[in-house]
Amino acid sequence: MASQILAISGSLQQRSKNLLLLTTASALMPADVELVLFDGIRDLPHFNPDLEATAVPDSVRRWRQALIDSDAVLIASPEYGFSLPGVLKNAIDWVIGSGELEGKVVAVTAAVPAPERGRRGLQALLDTLSAVRAEIVGGEPIAAGPTFESQVGALVRELVQTVGARARRFN
């Protein structure tokens, strides 16, 4: 059975380095693993529990279903103001109470210009993901340069191995 990994860029930029990282990851996935890029976090309304009391917005339903359909998540996110981007925090907020991200395997990284960059943003992301007790893979930024692809490949291998080990534990 093939695995499905949901890929999310924390950046809304069309030419984001984090989107490039996810594209690179897709090319390095084993044949039996499908990487699905989810671009819908841009469509989510600001988190407001009152919206759920009346009707869950379609964009939120699509986000939640994408998480349900995936075996794991790969997040590549920039650092904004020493933290994670608001759009990514908002997306996570939408699923804290409903549980679609609860205990899920989540690989996190950031495409950065230099290895010392992006760490505060990743730490903020890790802190937020602790609310859903995600099983974290990675957590280090990946710098542009000659080792970029090999570092992305190492993260992909670790993520795929973790998903496989988890499937064996629960079967």
- The CATH number given to whatever domain includes residue 156 is 3.40.50.360
| Per-residue tokens: 108 | 């996190």
DSSP 55-108: ---HHHHHHHHHHHH-SEEEEE---BTTB--HHHHHHHHHHHTT-TTTT-EEEE
- Ranges of residues in the chain with a pLDDT under 70 are 1, 171
pTM for the whole structure? 0.96
Domain encompassing residue 85: 3-170
Domain count, the chain: 1
The pLDDT tens digits of the residues spanning 96-122 come to 999 999 999 999 999 999 989 999 999
Helix orientation angle between 17-28 and 148-170, rounded to the nearest 10 degrees: 60
The pLDDT tens digits of the residues spanning 5-27 come to 999 999 999 999 999 999 999 99
- Phi–psi pair at 82, nearest 5 degrees: 65, 25
Minimal CA–CA distance to 157: which of 21, 39, 28?
Answer: 28
Q: Cα–Cα distance between 122 and 108 in angstroms, integer?
A: 7
